[in-house]
Amino acid sequence: MTKLSVNINKIATLRNARGGDVPSVTKAAVDIQGFGAQGITIHPRPDERHITYRDAYDLKPLVHTEYNIEGNPIPKFVEMVLAIKPTQVTLVPDAVDAITSDAGWDTIKHQAFLTEVITEFKRNKIRTSIFMDTDARLIEAAAKTGADRIELYTEAYAKQYAMDAKQAVAPYIMSADIAASLGLGINAGHDLSLENVQFFSQNVPHLLEVSIGHALIAEALYLGLENVVNMYLEKLK
């Protein structure tokens, strides 16, 4: 079964809109794990517009499943990850002003930098993943950095799914096979939803984990958080 890691950034967005601690990010993480999710994902950004660096530390003792911290490895981020030592760190090349992640790494151009960062994380026994597009050359370069996994950026799949699901998923099948042949584990995330996640997980080989936040929290507004988490778990069987 592909694991479900729930990104709780949007819980923090709602909290920050009003101030205070409602809704509680920490309670949400505890509850989501209680509902059956196998992981919690956060993506703190430098401006802390949703998840804050304080949240990242506060969640550490509460996440008893897999704790995945995403972000661009600027010095402050690296320092935080090394202090917390989550289960996994996912490196994402998002710009400071990005609304959301919109591209994977150029692992050829940034290979030396990524290798240096990944070496330090692995020295501290933190599993590493690189956010990637479906480009065979870049996946091959990613394997040379020493990363444990890649996370396939699935926005293109989500956009094309309704028009032609088989065509939409084809590049991801190819990429997953290439990655697996190079010894890389495969994660995926971005715009996956109740509508499209089952087809993706049933067709993409070697898929270890999906990270889902925006769609899951939006769906929970109508269907309830516990119900939605379990609906995803059912689709990922």
Instruction: Look up 43 and say whether it is catalytic.
Output: yes
Contact 114/143 with Cβ under 8 angstroms? Answer: no
Structure tokens at 151: 């996370």
Among the options 50, 66, 70, 209, which is catalytic?
A: 70
Instruction: Look up 70 and say whether it is catalytic.
Output: yes
Among the options 43, 151, 209, 219, which is catalytic?
A: 43
Count of Cβ atoms closer than 10 Å to residue 41 Cβ:
29
- Please tell me the distance from the alpha carbon of residue 194 to that of residue 231, in angstroms, as a whole number: 8
Among the options 50, 66, 151, 190, which is catalytic?
A: 190
- Please tell me the distance from the alpha carbon of residue 82 to that of residue 30, in angstroms, as a whole number: 23
Instruction: Look up 110 and say whether it is catalytic.
Output: no
- Please tell me the distance from the alpha carbon of residue 175 to that of residue 177, in angstroms, as a whole number: 5
Structure tokens at 62: 């509460």
Bridge partners (DSSP) of residue 42 are: 69
Count of Cβ atoms closer than 10 Å to residue 177 Cβ:
15
User: Residues with Cβ < 8 Å from 123, sequence gap 6 or more?
Assistant: none
Please return the burial class of 234, using the count of CB atoms within 10 Å of its CB with bins 0-12, 13-18 and 19+: exposed
- Please tell me the distance from the alpha carbon of residue 7 to that of residue 92, in angstroms, as a whole number: 14
HSE, side-chain direction, 13 A CA sphere, residue 123 = 9
**CA 56 distance to own-chain centroid:** 15
The set of catalytic residues is: 43, 70, 190
